[in-house]
Amino acid sequence: MTRGAYMLAYLAALIILLLPFPITYVGVAGGPGGERRVALATTTIIWDMARNVAGPGWRVEYMVMPGRDPHTFEPTPRDMVKAAEADLILYNGFTIDAWILRLVTASSRAKVVRVTEGLEKYALLVPDGPYAGRMDPHMWMDVGLAIRYVERIRDAFIEVDPAGAEGYRERAAKYIEELWRLDAWIREEVAKIEPSRRLLFTQENAFQYFARAYGFKIVGYFYSMITELEPSPLDVARAQKRVEGSGLCVFFIESTLSPRVMEAFASRLHGRVAGRLYTDSLGPAEIGHDNYISMMRYNVETIVRELSRWC
């Protein structure tokens, strides 16, 4: 039996002991007995979208903490209790949070919704590595597709609580307006970069959708999808080959990954590590990147500033 299987067996046994003592969320009316319903998102990005739609009758929680990598997340007993107590579970799908499907068997009441449902026709494929040929999960990096997430989240709340449909539609519409403004702003900012410099080298290949939407070229990366393993010498050699000839000298690190390999790589190529970007997780509240819009604005400001500066 694998380590993951042992963990799941342990969690399943533990949940039987914990369930007689349910977690309650006291607040405004929403669920039985005046308790708020609980919506559980796998990632902080989906969590932020959901809390913009949910309204006061819901408590919206996340599983993967800010700054943590959902690719490598291992559920805890507390997470299994959360899944069992939730009324609605929202997940991204396409491998990044597949672990949630192993937890929802403990839940007898949650509606489980993949927020990327219906977006397959917009999907890009993972180009290489162990997940080559599968759908790239990072659709939220294109704000236009993030809006589709919000629409699916809105519909999920309505399916669980039809009586609150008007409120969910109003809140979603207001948030979607903000997202369209964000999308327009990104395009204006990117236009400030000289076209020949619209090149990206990042640690993880998480910017395919961003690049397609906003006119960038992905020069290279270390991690195709598997972020728990250090890049091999062959991975580094391939990455170096991609960079050579492009003239690129600006390299971006990501908030959930160690910068060590990237710093050595940039030094070897006489380039520089330009900034830390947020992709798989929001940042901490104290630095102001704790919501999707501020995260995207920060990323774009960093990319525009550093690529305009160049070497």
User: What are the chain's domains?
Assistant: 3-183 (3.40.50.1980), 188-309 (3.40.50.1980)
Q: Burial letters for 96-124: b for 16+ Cβ neighbours within 10 Å, e otherwise?
A: bbebbebbbebbeebbbbbbbeebeeebe
What DSSP assignment string belongs to 264-304? Answer: HHHHHTT-EEEEEE-SSS---GGGT--SHHHHHHHHHHHHH
Q: For residues 79 and 57, what is the distance between their CA atoms, to the nearest angstrom?
A: 22
**How high is the pLDDT of residue 226?**
57
Highest-confidence range of 52-66, 170-184, 252-266, by mean pLDDT? 170-184
State whether the Cα torsion 99-101-102-104 is positive or negative: positive
**Which of 18-22, 44-48, 214-218 is predicted least confidently?**
18-22
133 against 306, higher pLDDT: 306
Q: Mean pLDDT score of the chain, rounded to an integer? A: 85
Of the pLDDT bands very low, low, confident and very high (cuts 50, 70, 90), residue 27 is: very low
**How high is the pLDDT of residue 19?**
44
216 against 36, higher pLDDT: 216
When pLDDT is averaged across residues 24-49 and rounded to a whole number, the result is: 72
Of the pLDDT bands very low, low, confident and very high (cuts 50, 70, 90), residue 269 is: confident
Cβ-based neighbour number of residue 197 at 10 Å: 16
Question: Is residue 12's pLDDT more than 70?
Answer: no
Q: How far is CA 226 from CA 71, 129, 132, 149, in A?
A: 7, 8, 11, 24
Question: Is residue 4's pLDDT more than 70?
Answer: no
Cβ-based neighbours of 254, under 8 Å, separated by 6 or more: 202, 203, 204, 206, 276, 277, 278, 279, 280
For the chain, give the percent of residues with pLDDT over 70. 83
Question: Is residue 6's pLDDT more than 50?
Answer: no
Highest-confidence range of 4-13, 45-54, 60-69, by mean pLDDT? 45-54
Cβ-based neighbours of 2, under 8 Å, separated by 6 or more: none
**Which of 128-132, 214-218, 277-281 is predicted least confidently?**
128-132
When pLDDT is averaged across residues 36-58 and rounded to a whole number, the result is: 97
Question: Is residue 13's pLDDT more than 50?
Answer: no
**How high is the pLDDT of residue 139?**
97
When pLDDT is averaged across residues 71-82 and rounded to a whole number, the result is: 86
Of the pLDDT bands very low, low, confident and very high (cuts 50, 70, 90), residue 109 is: confident
**How high is the pLDDT of residue 34?**
58
**How high is the pLDDT of residue 29?**
38
**How high is the pLDDT of residue 194?**
95
**Which of 8-22, 63-77, 165-179, 290-304 is predicted least confidently?**
8-22
**Which of 49-53, 145-149, 208-212, 252-256 is predicted least confidently?**
252-256
- Within 13 Å, how many C-alpha atoms sit on residue 139's CB side? 28
